C-alpha cells in the first residue's frame, strides 16, 4: 500500500545520510519525494514556488551555511518546519534554535527519531495553514462588506489614518456637509469640525489610536457644514484592509437635537451590531441600575447558543466564567466601576454549550454616568481569541516538554513536568502514564496522579487503556460511550467510574508502547475532540 506522500528539501546533507532518512521514512509508511539544495537561489525557489512539507538540514555546517537556510526559512517557519540533524557536540547549540522558529533537531545517530518529529510537525503545520486560509477568507469578506456600505444612507468616508487624505466617499457625505464633488477634491476635515467646541483633529487622532489598538470605536462629534450650520453626528471608526493597505472607515450619521434620546441610541446600537457581525465580535451592553445586560446574537453564537437562549443578566456572564478566571475577571470589572475608569480590557474563558471553554477578549467602556459621576452603563465587545491562545500555549507546552527531556534529572521529575505543562491547556488533575507489556499483556503505571484510584500495574484485558493500545488511536469516552463499548464487549470497566476519559497512544517506530490518560470524575471537566487533538500533538514528545 502506498505510504503518505511527503515532499522533503535536504540542505547540505551527504547522500549516505539522505539514503538512510528515505529508507527510515519508507519503513514508517511515508512516500518521500526528495529535493536537494546547496545554494540560496535554489532554496528560495523551492520555498516560494512549490514549497516542501519539511526542510531537513545539517546543523554541523559552517555558520554561513546555517545562516542561509535560517534566513530563507524565517518567513515560512509557521507552515514549513525546519529540522536539524546534529552531532552530539553541537546538541546544546541546536536546542537554542528552537526558540527562534526551528521546529526540532535530531541527533545523527538517532535518525529513527525523525519519524515522531515529522509526524508532529505535519499535524501542527496543517492547523496553521487552515487558520491562515480562514484569515484570508475573512479579509475578503470585510472588503465585500465595505463595498455594500457604499449604498447605505449613512455618510461613509474612506481615508488614510496617517495623512487624513480622503480616498473614497458616498453621496450622503455631500448632503451632510453641503459640499460638491469639486469641494471634495480639496476638503480638509478640520474645516468641517467645531474645533472651537473641543472637537479637534488631535482628538480625532486619539480616537483613531484607540481604534487601532482596541477595534471599532464609536463616538459623537460636532460638525459644521459648508454654509456654517452646526450639527451633531454619531460616528464609527473601523480599521479595514483595502488592497493590502490599512485604511480607516468612518460611518457618520446626523443625530441633531431633534433626533437625540432613545431613537438615536437605538440606531447607534443597530449600526454597531451590524459592524460587529461583519467582524465576528459579540456586543454586550450592561445597565448597572437595572442589572440587565443586552447580549447580541454574535455574543451568544460564539458560545454555541441561539439568540436570547440565556437570560440577559450579569449573572449569565459570571456563571459561564471558568472557575480559575471568575474572581479575577469580576474583580477587574468591579474595580473599573469603582475607579470610574473610562475603558478596560481583559482576557478570560467562558464555558461553551458543549462543555469546553473558549478564550475571549473583552473590551468595554463606560458610556453613561449619574449626577454624582458614578458609572451607570457599560458597553463593550467580545472577541473569540481561542485559536490564537491555543496555538501559543500548545507551541510553548511542546517546547517546554522537549526542554524538560534534557533538563530533568529523573523520570519521576520528567513525568511531573509533563503533567504540569499539559495542565496549562487541559485539566490534568487526574492522569496517568501506562506502558504496555505485550508478552504478559499487562499495563505498568510508572506515573499516576488521581483523586480516586491508585494503581502501579494491572492486567490489560479489556480496560479502556488497553482499548487505546488495541486500536492505536486516541479515544474520547463519556458515560454514554462507555456503556456502548461495554455493551459491545469491547471494554470491561476497571476502577472508579469517571464522567469523561481521554487516552492517546504513545508510539515508537509505529508501535503503540503505552498510553497517556487524563480523566475527570465531575461534570465541571469534560474533555473534547479539541483536547484529544492537542494531547496527540504532545504524545509524540512524551513517547
474-491 pLDDT per residue, tens: 999 999 999 999 999 999
Round the average pLDDT of the chain to a whole number and report it. Answer: 86
Determine the Cα–Cα distance for residues 386 and 131; give it in Å rounded to an integer: 12
Determine the Cα–Cα distance for residues 115 and 536; give it in Å rounded to an integer: 14
Q: Confirm whether 150-279 and 280-384 share one CATH topology.
A: yes
Angle, CA of 139, 144 and 150, to the nearest 5°: 130
- The three cell numbers of residue 142 are 470585510
Q: Are 278 and 240 spatial neighbours (Cβ–Cβ below 8 Å)?
A: no
Residue 472 or 270, more confident: 472
Residue 133 or 272, more confident: 133
374-418 pLDDT per residue, tens: 899 998 899 999 888 878 887 888 788 888 877 778 888 888 888
C-alpha closest to that of 422 among 447, 443, 441: 447
- The three cell numbers of residue 307 are 439568540
Residue 336, pLDDT score: 85
Q: Are 537 and 81 spatial neighbours (Cβ–Cβ below 8 Å)?
A: no
Domain boundaries, the chain: 4-136, 150-279, 280-384, 410-542
CA distances from 359 to 92, 136, 158, 306, 538 (A): 35, 22, 32, 19, 21
- The three cell numbers of residue 215 are 477595534
Determine the Cα–Cα distance for residues 399 and 406; give it in Å rounded to an integer: 11
Q: Are 516 and 436 spatial neighbours (Cβ–Cβ below 8 Å)?
A: no
232-263 pLDDT per residue, tens: 999 999 998 888 888 999 999 888 865 666 66
In CATH, the number for domain 280-384 is 3.30.450.20
User: Which residues are registered as beta bridge partners of 242?
Assistant: 245
Q: Are 4 and 28 spatial neighbours (Cβ–Cβ below 8 Å)?
A: no
Residue 318, pLDDT score: 94
Select from 3.40.50.1980, 3.40.630.30, 3.30.70.20, 3.30.450.40 the CATH code of 410-542.
3.30.450.40
What is the SS3 string spanning 280-299?
CEEEEEEECCCCEEEECHHH
Grade residue 98 by pLDDT with cuts at 50, 70 and 90: confident
Determine the Cα–Cα distance for residues 512 and 95; give it in Å rounded to an integer: 27
Grade residue 502 by pLDDT with cuts at 50, 70 and 90: very high
C-alpha closest to that of 417 among 542, 231, 501, 263: 542
The string of DSSP letters for 394-431 reads HHHHHHHHHHHHHH-SSHHHHHHHHHHHHTTTS--SSE
- The three cell numbers of residue 153 are 444612507
Residue 359, pLDDT score: 92
Cα dihedral across residues 357, 362, 366, 367: positive or negative: negative
The string of DSSP letters for 354-398 reads TS-EEEEEEEEEEEEE-TTS-EEEEEEEEEE-HHHHHHHHHHHHH
Specify the CATH superfamily of domain 4-136. Answer: Response regulator (3.40.50.2300)
298-316 pLDDT per residue, tens: 899 999 999 889 999 999 9
pLDDT for 268 beyond 70: no
The string of DSSP letters for 46-75 reads HHHSS--SEEEEETTS-HHHHHHHHHHHGG
pLDDT for 434 beyond 70: yes
Q: Is the pTM of this model over 0.85?
A: no
Which residue reads 500548545 in cell numbers? 394
Which distant-in-sequence residues (6+ apart) come within 8 Å of 121 by Cβ?
A: 54, 81, 83, 103, 104
User: Which residues are registered as beta bridge partners of 221?
Assistant: 233
Q: Are 156 and 170 spatial neighbours (Cβ–Cβ below 8 Å)?
A: yes
Burial of residue 302 (CB within 10 Å: 0-12, 13-18, 19+) is buried
Angle, CA of 120, 122 and 127, to the nearest 5°: 100
Residue 127 DSSP symbol? H
Residue 499, pLDDT score: 93
Query: For the residues 224-230, what does the mean pLDDT come to?
Result: 93
Cα dihedral across residues 419, 424, 429, 431: positive or negative: negative
Which distant-in-sequence residues (6+ apart) come within 8 Å of 80 by Cβ?
A: 47, 51, 52, 53, 54, 55, 73, 125
Residue 262, pLDDT score: 66
| Order of all β-strands in the sheet with 375-384 | 292-295, 281-287, 375-384, 357-369, 343-351
Residue 1, pLDDT score: 46
Determine the Cα–Cα distance for residues 73 and 53; give it in Å rounded to an integer: 12
Within 253-378, residue ranges assigned H as helices are 261-278, 297-301, 314-320, 323-338
Select from 3.10.20.30, 3.20.20.120, 3.30.450.20, 3.30.465.10 the CATH code of 150-279.
3.30.450.20
C-alpha closest to that of 472 among 509, 507, 435, 516: 507
Query: For the residues 271-280, what does the mean pLDDT come to?
Result: 67
Amino acid at each position: 500500500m502506498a505510504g503518505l506522500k511527503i515532499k522533503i528539501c535536504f540542505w547540505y546533507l551527504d547522500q549516505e545520510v539522505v539514503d538512510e532518512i528515505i529508507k527510515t521514512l519508507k519503513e514508517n509508511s511515508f512516500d518521500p519525494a526528495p529535493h536537494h539544495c546547496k545554494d540560496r537561489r535554489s532554496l528560495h525557489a523551492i520555498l516560494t514556488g512549490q514549497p516542501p512539507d519539511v526542510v531537513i538540514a545539517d546543523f554541523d555546517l559552517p555558520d554561513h551555511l546555517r545562516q542561509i537556510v535560517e534566513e530563507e526559512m524565517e518567513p515560512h517557519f509557521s507552515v514549513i518546519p525546519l529540522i536539524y540533524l546534529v552531532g552530539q557536540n553541537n546538541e546544546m547549540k541546536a536546542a537554542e534554535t528552537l526558540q527562534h522558529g526551528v521546529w526540532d533537531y535530531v541527533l545523527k545517530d538517532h535518525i529513527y527519531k525523525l519519524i515522531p518529529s515529522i509526524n508532529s510537525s505535519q499535524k501542527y503545520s496543517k492547523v496553521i495553514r487552515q487558520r491562515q486560509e480562514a484569515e484570508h477568507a475573512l479579509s475578503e469578506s470585510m472588503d465585500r462588506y465595505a463595498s455594500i456600505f457604499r449604498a447605505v444612507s449613512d455618510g461613509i468616508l474612506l481615508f488614510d489614518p496617517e495623512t487624513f487624505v480622503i480616498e473614497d466617499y458616498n453621496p450622503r457625505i455631500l448632503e451632510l456637509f453641503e459640499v460638491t464633488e469639486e469641494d471634495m477634491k480639496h476638503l480638509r476635515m478640520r474645516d468641517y469640525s467645531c474645533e472651537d467646541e473641543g472637537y479637534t483633529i488631535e482628538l480625532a487622532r486619539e480616537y483613531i489610536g484607540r481604534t487601532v489598538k482596541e477595534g471599532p470605536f464609536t463616538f459623537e462629534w460636532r460638525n459644521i457644514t459648508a454654509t456654517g450650520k452646526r450639527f451633531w453626528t454619531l460616528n464609527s471608526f473601523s480599521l479595514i484592509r483595502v488592497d493590502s493597505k490599512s485604511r480607516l472607515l468612518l460611518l457618520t450619521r446626523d443625530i441633531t437635537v431633534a433626533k437625540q434620546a432613545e431613537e438615536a441610541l437605538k440606531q447607534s446600537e443597530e449600526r454597531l451590531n451590524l459592524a460587529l457581525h461583519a467582524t465576528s465580535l459579540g456586543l454586550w451592553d450592561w445597565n448597572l441600575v437595572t442589572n440587565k445586560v443586552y447580549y447580541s446574537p454574535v455574543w451568544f453564537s460564539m458560545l454555541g447558543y441561539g439568540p436570547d437562549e440565556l437570560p440577559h443578566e450579569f449573572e449569565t456572564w459570571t456563571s459561564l466564567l471558568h472557575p480559575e478566571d471568575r474572581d479575577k475577571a469580576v474583580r477587574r470589572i468591579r474595580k473599573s466601576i469603582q475607579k470610574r475608569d473610562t475603558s478596560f480590557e481583559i482576557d478570560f474563558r467562558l464555558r461553551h454549550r458543549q462543555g469546553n471553554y473558549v478564550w475571549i477578549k473583552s473590551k468595554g467602556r463606560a458610556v453613561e454616568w449619574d449626577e454624582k459621576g458614578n458609572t451607570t452603563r457599560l458597553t463593550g465587545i467580545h472577541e473569540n481569541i481561542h485559536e490564537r491562545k491555543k496555538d501559543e500555549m500548545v507551541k510553548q507546552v511542546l517546547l517546554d516538554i522537549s526542554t524538560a527531556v534534557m533538563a530533568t534529572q529523573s523520570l519521576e521529575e520528567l513525568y511531573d513536568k509533563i503533567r504540569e505543562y499539559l495542565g496549562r491547556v487541559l485539566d490534568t488533575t487526574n492522569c496517568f502514564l501506562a506502558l504496555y507489556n505485550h508478552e504478559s499483556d499487562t499495563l505498568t503505571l510508572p506515573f499516576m496522579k488521581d483523586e480516586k484510584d491508585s494503581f502501579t500495574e494491572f492486567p490489560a484485558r479489556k480496560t479502556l487503556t488497553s482499548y487505546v493500545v488495541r486500536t492505536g488511536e486516541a479515544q474520547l469516552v463519556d458515560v454514554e460511550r462507555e456503556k456502548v463499548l461495554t455493551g459491545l464487549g469491547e471494554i470491561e470497566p476497571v476502577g472508579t467510574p469517571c464522567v469523561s476519559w481521554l487516552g492517546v497512544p504513545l508510539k515508537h517506530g509505529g508501535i503503540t508502547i503505552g498510553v497517556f490518560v487524563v480523566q475527570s470524575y465531575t461534570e465541571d471537566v469534560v474533555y473534547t475532540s479539541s483536547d484529544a487533538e492537542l494531547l496527540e500533538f504532545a504524545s509524540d514528545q512524551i513517547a
